[in-house]
Amino acid sequence: MSSPVSRPALALLSDEDLTAALAALDPGQASCRTLEDLRAVGDDRAPLLAEQRRRARVREVRALAERQQREREARLARTRIGRRAPDGGYPVRVDGAERVIVRKSGRGWLLALDGQGPMEGAERRRSDAIDRAVLVLDMRAARDRERERAAAVPDGWGLAPGGWVPPVGAVVRVAHDGPDGLRWSGPVRVMRHAAEPAPYGPRLYTRPLDDVGFGMNLPASGRVFARPGPDAVRSFPPVPWRHRDPEEHEARRLMAGEIGDEVASLQRRKLPGADEAQNLLAAVAGNRHGDSAAALRRVEEIAEAMREHLRGRGDPDAPWTGATVRAVRILAGRYAERFAAAGGRLTPPPAPWPAGGLRRRERAGRTRPGT
């Protein structure tokens, strides 16, 4: 191992010398073979690294102080102090407008901004009090600009009249009054209504346009909505199938869950065909299969093949597995018959969904049963 390095006074080392001293110790650390050698080299590096970190902190603090001083000088350059009033106050013009009055009070200064009541401060100097006043005015102006920007109706959208309740299928933005002011939600589609007792009115259930993420569940009474204009409508993505036909989607989802739970247990037992059956159920639930009845007939055939596969096996769990296979076969056959009898659906067909986003009977003022 390299011999210990003698260290001069760290305060006398320049930054370049400090970096060179650390670089000179690296080969010694690389040659260490025991813990004692590493500790010896580490003891030499520790004060150098500590001095390097201390200097970095000093530079950061100095740079921050210089930046704050430049900003303070820029704020004071925007002010003009008037003559002392009979009551002891000094009017201060900020950006050409008289907006601040500073008054000596004991050891500190009181501020009055835009005609409001005085604010007590701990500044000992008048210039510090004026600087704080300008900083507060700038913060208020930035807050007001942000509130105005958030409250403005988004481009391509129009404010809906008061008391308007979006019908099922409508695309809207919803205004929310938060601690930072009024803000608009992203575009959402109204999926259904739920009646609530007076004075709340109907409750709206919404989903994002692309069906990704979470929707909102909110009362319609007292809400402010924005409706899309023609340009905004043209930018909407295609209406997802589950939005166009929510009843059929819910029926298929329940069907896939009822059969899929049984198939999942067969997947855990590594039975042949279980993965294919689960994929077919997912395709039928998402309306991605051209013939739902044929897909479920295929699931029924897979279950029959599983039953033949289990016959004669010395599996102690065969009775329970056989019961699960039988349930899959029976359920798939029943749903296949329902699809075949109803023309590929589990529910009655919905009303046509026009390009404007509203169904014909809803545009005519009629709603679906149960909404």
- Report if residue 250 sits inside a domain: yes
Find the domain containing 48 and state its range. Answer: 10-73
Q: Say whether both 19 and 33 belong to one domain.
A: yes
User: Domain boundary residue among 129, 150, 171?
Assistant: 150
pLDDT band for position 236 (50/70/90)?
confident
pLDDT greater at residue 292 or residue 41: 292
Q: Say whether both 24 and 92 belong to one domain.
A: no
The number of distinct structural domains making up the chain is 4
- Report if residue 363 sits inside a domain: no
Q: Say whether both 234 and 268 belong to one domain.
A: no
User: Domain boundary residue among 185, 219, 240?
Assistant: 240
- Report if residue 310 sits inside a domain: yes
* pLDDT tens track for 182-199: 788 889 988 888 887 766
* 219: CATH: 2.30.30
Instruction: Name, of 2-11, 119-128, 235-244, 293-302, the range with top average pLDDT.
Output: 293-302
Q: Say whether both 163 and 230 belong to one domain.
A: yes
- Report if residue 192 sits inside a domain: yes
pLDDT at position 44 is 63
Assess whether pLDDT exceeds 70 at residue 85.
yes
- Report if residue 367 sits inside a domain: no
Q: Tell how far CA 29 is from the center of its chain.
A: 47
- Report if residue 351 sits inside a domain: no
- Report if residue 355 sits inside a domain: no
* pLDDT tens track for 122-169: 678 888 888 888 998 888 888 777 767 666 788 888 888 877 888 888
Phi then psi dihedrals of residue 9, to 5 deg: -60, 125
89 and 101 in contact (C-beta within 8 Å)? yes
pLDDT at position 151 is 66
How far is Cα 48 from Cα 27, in angstroms, rounded to an integer?
16
Sequence-ordered alpha helix ranges (H) in 192-312: 230-234, 241-244, 246-268, 274-285, 292-310
How far is Cα 46 from Cα 69, in angstroms, rounded to an integer?
35
Phi then psi dihedrals of residue 167, to 5 deg: -75, 165
pLDDT at position 274 is 92
Q: Say whether both 165 and 98 belong to one domain.
A: no
Least confident of 18-22, 211-215, 265-269: 18-22
- Maximum Cα interatomic distance, the chain, rounded to a whole number of Å: 109
The tokens describing 44, both together, are 């030499």
Q: Say whether both 51 and 106 belong to one domain.
A: no
User: Domain boundary residue among 73, 104, 123?
Assistant: 73
How far is Cα 227 from Cα 82, in angstroms, rounded to an integer?
51
3-state per-residue secondary structure call for 59-99 = HHHHHHHHHHHHHHHHHHCCEEECCCCCCCEEEEEECCEEE
pLDDT band for position 251 (50/70/90)?
very high
